[in-house]
Every structure is written in C-alpha cells, then in structure tokens.
Amino acid sequence: MSNVMHPDVEKIIISQEQIQNRVKELGRQLTEDYRGKELVVIGILRGAAVFLADLIREIDLYMEIDFMGVSSYGLATKSSGVVRITKDLESTITDRDVLIVEDIVDSGLTLKYIVENLRSRKPRSIQICTLLDKPARRVEGVEVAYNGFVIPDEFVVGYGLDYAEKYRNLPYVGVLKPEIYTT
C-alpha cells in the first residue's frame, strides 16, 4: 500500500511522514525516561503491532517485548465494554517497569481493564504509550504518559487500526467513509 488514499478512506488525518517523525520523538523520550530500568514493552494485539514494531526500533535500550490480546469490539465500531483476554503475557512483570503500547485510547474501558489486570501482577511501574488518543469518547479515566496524536471523534483506520480486520496495512491514519461501516 502506498501513501495514496484508499478509495474507502474519506481523508487522511495523519500522514506517514507525521507518524514516522512522532514515533522517532517518542522513541527518544522513552529511551531517556527508561534508561537504567528493567523495561517490558507490552503490545496490545492486534492494532498496536505496527506502531510497536516501529516504536521499539527507536528505543535505544535493552527491553523485553511481550503481547496481550484483548477483545472488546468484535466487528462493532464501538467497544462493548466487556473485555476478554484472548492472549496473555508470557513474561513475568513482577518488580519490572511496564510500558503498555496501544494503537488508540478511545472510551478507556479496555485499557482500564488491562491496567488493573497488570497491576495485580505487582510491576514496579506501569505507563501507557498510545499512537492515538480520542478524548471525546472517554468514559473511563486512564492516564496516558506518552501520546502520539490527539484526534477528533471520527472512525479511523490505518497504521494498525482496522475495521472488520481490513485497512491495518495503510501507512497513514485516515477517516473511514461512513457508508463502509454503516451499511
């Protein structure tokens, strides 16, 4: 896929170049903030995989990487609020510094569940890094320490974000045409 707009996308709101620049900035900041710590980076599947892959290449530290799979959307466009773990960690996070990497913070319901679940495992610290933050949809207060972009309340796809498992491979973040997900 190129940077050419997909026919199902109404508009591009964050270009490939903007994403690359912001990921580099976040990587530099995380390198400084986690220097000398026992970092475990946890990617939330599947949406965060693309962001995580680019982000960890910009962090100049030793780290362990693990993944959690959670489901709260199914094929819907809004979180159901019912969260289930589809893949749990393989790593032990007790007394370690945890960085959760997420594609988008929307209602906050899923992330609140993840943070509470991980906190019960007694890490030294837990911070959240997200590519996109959509505060207009927030229902639960979650503290995001590292934020790529704040976006308006629009249905976005690309750079790991999907609708019905499509569009994840777009190199930008774009607004999906409403007729795609309302028919």
Alpha helices in the chain (DSSP H): 16-33, 49-56, 109-119, 178-182
- 62 vs 117: CA distance, rounded Å: 25
Among 151, 154, 158, 156, CA closest to 172: 158
Peptide bond into 96 cis (omega under 30): no
> For the chain, first and last CA: distance in Å?
25
From 106, 133, 153, 162, active-site residue: 106
Q: Does 106 qualify as catalytic in the annotation?
A: yes
Q: Provide the CA 104 distance to its chain's centre, in angstroms.
A: 5
Active site members: 106
